Amino acid sequence: MQNLSDTERKILSLLQENARQSLTEIAQKIGTSRTNVKTKIDRLYDAGIIKRFTVDLEDADVRNTGTLKSFFHVHLTEPACETLFDHVKKWEEVKGCWTVSSPTTDMIVMVEAISQEALESARFRISKLPYVDSMHTTFVLREWQHKL
């Protein structure tokens, strides 16, 4: 670690053990004031030494409570992208729609859902629309970057 005081090293060690302990508890353990601990933590954060405050979860079922994302590549029987968009735009799980230029895809629909069953339900509802010829699904395995 870069040019850290003994106090800063102790604070970092204590935070790694238990990031939920109060500033007062940390101050008592290292023999300094609460204000000094707060100042040091703010400095470490501002310097980029502390990157973020987070929660690590042990249980895989709890850890994977995020949403599942997929892209539905829809091929239409006729030029009906606007009709498809009008049909799905108010669905909570639909996060984006794009008309694309592809020999096998007319529109891509991005869907986020809380479960595999919810994704399948959205896919099924789209596939049953009368102007949908075919569709295939691309599941997002890992998101590297997503800017809004």
Q: For 32-98, give the DSSP string.
A: S-HHHHHHHHHHHHHTTSS---------HHHHT-S-EEEEEEEEESSS-HHHHHHHHTT-TTEEEEE
The two three-digit tokens of residue 141, written as one number: 């395995």
Asked whether the beta carbons of 7 and 32 are under 8 A apart, the reply is yes
> What is the pLDDT, as a whole number, of residue 2?
62
Question: Which comes out higher in pLDDT, residue 56 or 106?
Answer: 106
pLDDT at 6 exceeding the cut of 90:
no
Q: Is the dihedral of CA 132, 137, 138, 141 positive or negative?
A: positive
> At 62, is the pLDDT very low, low, confident or very high (cuts 50, 70, 90)?
very low
Question: Which long-range CB contacts under 8 A does 1-10 form with residues at least 24 apart?
Answer: 1/49, 2/49, 4/49, 5/40, 7/32, 7/36, 7/40, 8/40, 8/43, 8/44
pLDDT at 60 exceeding the cut of 60:
no
